[in-house]
Chain A
Amino acid sequence: DQQVKQNSPSLSVQEGRISILNCDYTNSMFDYFLWYKKYPAEGPTFLISISSIKDKNEDGRFTVFLNKSAKHLSLHIVPSQPGDSAVYFCAASGRGSGGSNYKLTFGKGTLLTVNP
């Protein structure tokens, strides 16, 4: 059972426009959410995160929105640049003990292509 879902395998946008990547989760124990960006043949790079006590977190061109009642989060990239083209993974971690709160559950990823 997939607990973190990224239903769009791919997204294509024009340079300068907004990119919106979506993520849904089913486990109500998740309380911390992260976005990672991954280029081919490289490890994931941490991008931005949000805790469940917030509904928005912004860092430069990247903003993450969290809607807890809908169990939905989204990553907005404005303006999009060709260098943003990569696979974006949504990940979640939850409350727990004995290290279980340190387990990240990843979605399957969305391939973002930003066209010049």
Chain B
Amino acid sequence: DTEVTQTPKHLVMGMTNKKSLKCEQHMGHRAMYWYKQKAKKPPELMFVYSYEKLSINESVPSRFSPECPNSSLLNLHLHALQPEDSALYLCASSQWGLPYNEQFFGPGTRLTVL
């Protein structure tokens, strides 16, 4: 299984809503990532988890709250978002502890904040 899955595919939420994005991989990867991608821009790293612990937080606002319940799952909890947070949210995974880093991406969740 070389797939990273993400749910939901599309999400529309109001600024006062609380929602969660989910990501799952069964490749035995011990690193998982959240990226944000705006239209016609490259993916921007938000968070890195290694062995279920947060390794990198790229100064992401606290209205985005990541969680890694186990080695296969990664969640992104959303609360009090702004319209400018509308974007494609990508999850990725990779092996950890190797000198190189090939990340495998999921299809993304298209988020619209009204």
Chain A neighbourhood of B31, CB < 8 A: 102
Q: Is the CB of B90 within 8 A of A43?
A: yes
Q: Which residue of A lies closest to B2 (CB)?
A: A46
Question: How distant is the Cα of A101 from the Cα of B42 in the complex, in angstroms?
Answer: 19
Chain B interface size, under 10 / 10 to 19 / 20 to 34 / 35 or more:
20 to 34
Question: Is B62's CB within 8 Å of the partner chain A?
Answer: no
Q: Is the CB of A44 within 8 A of B100?
A: no
From 34 to 82 in chain A, residues with beta carbon under 8 angstroms from any chain B beta carbon are 34, 36, 41-46, 49, 51
Question: How distant is the Cα of A100 from the Cα of B43 in the complex, in angstroms?
Answer: 16
Question: Is B64's CB within 8 Å of the partner chain A?
Answer: no
Chain B neighbourhood of A89, CB < 8 A: 42-43
Chain A interface size, under 10 / 10 to 19 / 20 to 34 / 35 or more:
20 to 34
Question: Is A20's CB within 8 Å of the partner chain B?
Answer: no
Q: Is the CB of B55 within 8 A of A98?
A: yes
Q: Is the CB of B43 within 8 A of A44?
A: yes
Interface of A is mostly: mixed
- Assuming A43-B4, A89-B42, is B101 touching A104 (CB within 8 A)? yes
Q: Is the CB of A104 within 8 A of B45?
A: yes
Question: Is B48's CB within 8 Å of the partner chain A?
Answer: yes
Question: How distant is the Cα of A31 from the Cα of B51 in the complex, in angstroms?
Answer: 24
Q: Is the CB of B102 within 8 A of A102?
A: no
Q: Can you list 25 A-B pairs with a CB-CB distance of less than 8 A? A: A32-B101, A36-B105, A41-B107, A41-B108, A43-B6, A43-B90, A43-B105, A44-B43, A44-B105, A46-B102, A51-B100, A93-B101, A98-B56, A99-B48, A99-B50, A99-B56, A102-B33, A103-B45, A103-B48, A103-B56, A104-B45, A106-B43, A108-B40, A108-B42, A109-B40
A interface with B by C-beta (< 8 Å)? 32, 34, 36, 41-46, 49, 51, 89, 93, 98-104, 106-109
